[in-house]
Structure 1
Amino acid sequence: MLPVERRRKMARLIKSQGAVNSRELAKALGISVMTVRRDLKVLEDQKQLEITWGGAVPVGFEAHDIPRSHKAGSMLEAKVAIARAACEFIQDDSFIGLDAGTTTLELARLLPSLPLTNLSVVTPDLEIALLLSGYPHIEVFLTGGRIDPISRACNDTDSVAYLRRIRTTVAFVGINVWGTQHGVTTSSSEKMHRKVQLMNSADKSILLADSSKYAKFSPWRVAGVEDFYRIITDHGLSHDARQALEGVGAHLVYAGA
């Protein structure tokens, strides 16, 4: 097998499987681990993949969640703008679902000042629940279950079971990665099941996702971009990204100036 053909096959394997170690690649291709490492370096220089400890992952692949403290200050202006745009989809006497995350937290911060007399909110997010629980016109429901120390949210089967028993008018879904090809994905099966149920329990779902998270993906698929009533993002998306998203049926709302 010619080196170019071998590297092409290697890139396809990594793209299809999400993450592969060097020994697995060597066995699959019938070559030495040393040859695998040389080929991976060539493919990384061509920006076809990213080398990790012991192997490689596709470009944009994020296997693990980012600690909440690291995300809090990232893209803050865009998150606030997205949150403001999301307020347009909340009416009086609504029962909304707020996913865990820093963008949904910005939306929660705006809720008390909206011209509403009655609002019900269900969330797995501890910080959101504590923030809203002090307002008499906002009724807050916390899903319960095991608290994930990274996301600071209830993140197990108890949380999913709680969401299964309710019906909301709209669910606002937060995410760390999204894109046209892989859709909306997340880093663990627990988070995937919770987000899927949050969407299934709602009359319609709205994705809140800033442009810095676009063209990235994680192992567990939540939904396609076309499955959301609206996707609220910022103006940082490229023209090609906008065309690609609209081409697969995504309904985009651009927040901010």
Structure 2
Amino acid sequence: MLAEKRKDRILQILEEDGSVKVSKLTKLFDVSIETIRRDLETLEKEGLLKRVYGGAVLKKNKVHQLNYVKREKEFADEKKEIAKIAIRYIEEGQSIALNNGTTNIEIARELKKNFKELTVITNSLMIASELADVDSFTIILTGGILNNKEYAFYGDLSENVLSDFIVDKAFISVGGVSLTRGITDYLPGEVQIEKKLIEISQEVIILADSSKIDSVSLIKVTDIHEANLVITDSKLDDKILNKYLKNGIEIVKE
């Protein structure tokens, strides 16, 4: 197993259990104690865990996961700004995918005001509900196992439905964007949906407010170069913006 995948798996275990022993990881990955210690040291430097005697414990990231209702109120103006930029990249009659997220709710509201005919596929109950009264839109809701805290569907059923489609563009709202760690997010179920959307989309557009740029969440979704475009808000520092542009990442803000 590659080091990056191994570290992603370590973070998943920490999210599930809160702590992990070095001895468990050496057996799980069939690698040496020194290899695991290097992995833990790297993850600690990135602020993702805290090493303790014999293992590690989960450390809260500077970008934290709130429940859906609280997230909808957080950075509300920035999300509206991102949504207004995002719709510039949509053409009448296109098929688009929106993952679950409060930024994509704002995109849904903009779609209603600016387009007559679209096909929208989503795993979000809230997005489907927002668009349900637009008769000229085709809305495809994945179904699956409902997470009643996120108002979204996850699991094999959702992913299997997505596998049958090819969409023009996917707008994926995420928890973190980093040059070194790539695109990251919090919930394992949502990450699997995001990976599937990347597979079925001809163009991938990442949505992240400025607080999430240069930040790392729990689980890796994909390498940053898999994104065709990153959209953020006007509060992003120009030094950070230029760093990404110099590394070949197309990132836009107002």
* TM-score of the pair, normalised by structure 2: 0.77
What SS is found at the alignment partner of 2:245? Answer: helix
The aligned amino acid for 1:240 is: K
The 8 Å contact of residues 225 and 249 in structure 1, kept in 2 or not, is answered as no
Aligned residue for 1:72, secondary structure, equals helix
Q: Per-residue CA shift, 1:41-98, capped at 9, x if unaligned?
A: xxxxxxxxxxxxx846386475xx3211111111111111110111111111111101
For 2:102 and 2:243, the matched residues in 1 are separated by: 26
- Worse overlay, 144-153 or 100-109: 144-153
Q: 1:10 offset after TM fit, Å?
A: 8.0
Whole-Å Cα distance in 2 between the matches of residues 123 and 136 of structure 1?
A: 17
| CA shift for structure 1 position 215 | 2.6
| Identity rate, percent | 24
CA contact (8 A) 1:174 1:209 kept: yes
Residue among 45, 59, 75 paired with 1:15: 45
* Residues 63 and 212 in structure 2, CA contact (< 8 A), matched pair in contact too: no
- Within 5 A, what are the aligned runs for 1:61-210? 62=64, 65-114=65-114, 116-210=115-209
Where does the alignment leave 5 or more consecutive residues of structure 2 unmatched?
Answer: 1-37
Shift in Å, 1:218: 2.3
Report if the CA contact (8 A) 1:18-1:61 is conserved: no
- Over residues 6-44 of structure 1, what are the superposed CA-to-partner deviations in whole Å (9 max), with x where a residue is unaligned? xx998546237942452325xxxxxxxxxxxxxxxxxxx
Q: For the residues of structure 2 that align with 1:212 and 1:16, how far apart are their CA atoms? A: 16
Distance 1:212 1:91 in 2: 29
- Deviation, 1:106, is 0.2
Q: Aligned pair in 2 of structure 1 residues 15, 155: CA closer, same or farther (>3 Å)? A: farther
Aligned partners of 1:15 and 1:58 also within 8 Å: no
Return the alpha-carbon distance in structure 2 between the equivalents of residues 59 and 140 of structure 1: 35
Per-residue deviation, 1:241 = 1.5
Q: Secondary structure at the match of 1:234?
A: coil
Cα distance in 1 between the residues matched to 2:138 and 2:144: 19
* SS of aligned partner of 1:135: coil
Contact 1:177 1:186 in 2 (8 A): yes
Instruction: Check 1:219–1:110 CA distance in 2 against 1; reply closer, same or farther (3 A cut).
Output: same
| Counterpart residue number, 2:59 | 57
Contact 2:97–2:120 (Cα < 8 Å) also in 1: yes
Q: Indicate conservation of the 8 Å contact 1:84/1:107, yes or no.
A: yes
The offset of 1:109, in angstroms, is 0.6
Q: Is the 8 A contact 1:60 1:215 kept in 2?
A: no
The runs of at least 4 consecutive aligned structure 1 residues that moved more than 6 Å come to none
**1:120–1:138 Cα contact (<8 Å) kept:** yes
- What letter is aligned with 1:24? G
CA distance in 1 between counterparts of 2:196 and 2:221 reads 10
Q: Which amino acid aligns with 1:215?
A: D
